[in-house]
Amino acid sequence: MSSRLFQHDLVDSTNERALASIADGSARHGDVHVADGQSAGRGRLGRSWVSARGEGLYLSIVLLPARAPNPAALTMAAGLAVLESVRALGVGEARLKWPNDVLARDAKLAGILVESRGLDPARPHAVVGVGLNVLQRSFPPELLAERAVTSLALLGCDATREHALDVLLSHLASRLELACLSPERIAADYARASELPGRTVRIRRGSGELTGRLESLTLAGLELALVDGTRARVPLEHAQAVEDLDRAPDRPARSS
C-alpha cells in the first residue's frame, strides 16, 4: 500500500477528496485522506456525519486493487479494524453492529462508509471512510435525538487523535489488504467477532423483517433458521440492520 498521508484542514468530505483523486488519476492504492473537520461529512443512507473540527477522526483510504473488491467485505474489514483499534486503546466493551457501526455501551462510537463511483472493470476502486469519535464530550442535540452516541473520551480513554490515528491506520492497512485478497476470511473473522452466529436475530431488509436463529454469516449471505422450520438466506447487501434479540442491553452510555 502507498504510505501517502494527505492531511487536510477543513474539507467537505474525506471520501469526496479520495474519490476526486481517483477520478483525476492522481490516487495511489493505500492513499489516506485525513481531515481536521468536515463541512459535508457523509454517513450511510444519505445521512450526514457530524464532523466537528479537532474532535473526531475523519479519514478515507483509497483502494485500487487488481480485482474488484467486495464492498461488504471492505465494510466488515474496516469494522474489524476499528474494533481492534479501540480495544487496543483500552475500550474493551466495544462491539460490532451490522453493517457498519462500532458501538460501546449501546452508543455509536464509529461508522464506516464504503463508496465507489463508476464501474469501469479495468479500473477497480473503492474508498473506505471511517469516522471515529475521539475527544467529543458532547454532541449536537439533533444527533442525540436520533440515537445514543459516544466517544473515546466519554468512555474514559484519553488517547489523542494522533495516537488513535496511528493505531487505526495500522489495523486498517492489514484488514483491508486481507479483504482484497481473501474476503472469505474477513467474513469469517467478522462472524466470530460479531458473536451473531447461534443467536436469535431480527434482520431488516427492503421487503420487511425476518426473525430466526442465525446459522451462518458468510459472503453468500446471512443464513437463518426460521421458527416454521424453513431456512432463508439474506444477501449481505440486503441486510440493512441485524438486531441480536438474545443480547442483554449494555450499561448506559453518558451522552454528554
Interface ranges with ligand BTN (CB under 6 A): 13-15, 38, 41-44, 47, 49, 58-60, 100-101, 111-113, 129-131
Q: Is 224:215 a contact under the CB 8 Å cutoff? A: yes
Report whether 151 contacts 134 (CB < 8 A). yes
Supply the minimum distance, in Å, between the C-beta of residue 215 and ligand BTN.
27
Closest distance between ligand BTN and the C-beta of residue 56, in Å? 8
Residues 201 and 65: their CA atoms lie apart, in Å, by 34
Q: How far is the CB of 13 from ligand BTN (least distance, A)?
A: 3
Q: Which is nearer to ligand BTN, 15 or 151 (CB)?
A: 15
Residue 19 CB, nearest approach to ligand BTN (Å): 10
Alpha-carbon Rg for the chain, nearest whole angstrom, is 18
Reference 61, options 134, 162, 136, 131; nearest CA is 131
Give the CA distances from residue 87 to residues 84, 93, 95, in Å, rounded to whole numbers and listed in that order.
5, 8, 9
Closest distance of CB 43 from ligand BTN, Å: 3
Which residue lies nearer to ligand BTN by CB, 136 or 200? 136
Furthest C-alpha separation in the chain: 56
Name the residue whose CB lies closest to ligand BTN: 111
Shortest Å distance, C-beta 59 to ligand BTN: 6
With respect to ligand BTN, which residue has the nearer C-beta, 44 or 205?
44
Query: Closer to ligand BTN at the Cβ: 55 or 101?
Result: 101
- CA 108 from chain center: how many Å? 11
Nearer to ligand BTN (CB atom), residue 91 or residue 224? 91
How would you class 180 by CB atoms within 10 Å of its CB: exposed for 0-12, middle for 13-18, buried for 19 or more?
A: buried
111 versus 212: smaller Cβ distance to ligand BTN: 111
Tell which phi-psi region holds residue 90, choosing left (phi > 0), alpha (psi between -120 and 50) or beta. Answer: left
Shortest distance in whole angstroms from residue 46 CB to ligand BTN: 9
Cell reading at 122: 479495468
- The answer to whether the Cα torsion of 141, 84, 60, 206 is positive or negative is negative
DSSP per position, 176-187: HHHHHH-HHHHH
d(CA 179, CA 174): 9
Pick the closer one to ligand BTN by CB: 59 or 187. Answer: 59
